[in-house]
């Protein structure tokens, strides 16, 4: 996943960021068409109109719903899958914000860190104490947190992208 600066920005080179530990895909030489990514699982009021972001948010929702549906025997595995996705998702956003020099990126990333700290504590309670009630309460509360985060933090990030001509380009899977 890369963030490309507008080619017409005077005196600037394209900014690229990769949020994973894998090598970043090569930047595109010409403006890429918006990727056709499925974001149908995302509630309409959370669509930001940026395909990569909306797709990633839809995955977040689907994986959280899978954790909510999981029985006790599969709850930790489903929660871990959601946690892995969420760490990657947040890492991507933080890399994008850094590449774009997005002013309030520390506040945005701080929300990510706070939420993940809570998730880690609850996950430990489930694993160590069998406290599925607390784990399920967390999963039930996260959609509210997520909706607020998307509407405030992510919407501001996407608006900054648009205002400054940045484009997210999804590279080949691998």
- Average pLDDT score over residue span 35-53: 83
List Cβ neighbours of 133 (8 Å cut-off, separation of 6 or more). Answer: none
Helix and strand counts by DSSP (H, E) for the chain: 5, 2
List the beta bridge partners of residue 4.
167
Check residues 69 and 170 and name the one with the higher pLDDT.
Answer: 69
List the beta bridge partners of residue 3.
168
pLDDT, tens only, 150-160? 999 999 999 99
When pLDDT is cut at 50, 70 and 90, the band that residue 37 belongs to is low
Residue-level pLDDT at 115: 98
Q: For the chain, list the domains and their CATH numbers.
A: 64-166 (1.20.120)
Alpha-carbon gap, residue 167 to 85, rounded angstroms: 22
Q: Are 172 and 35 in contact (CB under 8 A)?
A: no
Triad 63, 68, 69: Cα angle to 5°: 95
Residue 88: pLDDT over 60: yes
Residue 47: pLDDT over 90: yes
When pLDDT is cut at 50, 70 and 90, the band that residue 69 belongs to is very high
Tell me the pLDDT of the chain averaged across its residues. 82
Residue-level pLDDT at 36: 59
Residue 125 in tokens: 């309670």
- Average pLDDT score over residue span 42-57: 92
């Amino acid at each position: 996943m890369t963030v490309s600066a507008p080619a017409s920005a005077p005196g600037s080179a394209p900014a690229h960021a990769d949020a994973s530990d894998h090598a970043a895909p090569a930047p595109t030489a010409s403006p890429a068409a918006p990727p056709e990514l499925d974001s149908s699982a995302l509630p309409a009021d959370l669509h930001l109109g940026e395909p990569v972001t909306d797709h990633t948010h839809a995955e977040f929702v689907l994986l959280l719903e899978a954790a909510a549906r999981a029985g006790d025997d599969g709850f930790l595995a489903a929660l871990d899958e959601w946690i892995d996705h969420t760490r990657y998702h947040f890492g991507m956003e933080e890399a994008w914000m850094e590449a774009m020099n997005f002013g309030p990126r520390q506040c945005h990333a701080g929300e990510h860190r706070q939420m993940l700290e809570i998730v880690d504590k609850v996950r430990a309670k489930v694993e160590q104490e069998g406290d599925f009630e607390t784990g399920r309460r967390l999963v039930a509360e996260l959609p509210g947190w997520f909706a607020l985060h998307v509407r405030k933090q992510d919407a501001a990030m996407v608006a900054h992208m648009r205002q400054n001509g940045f484009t997210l380009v999804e590279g080949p899977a691998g």
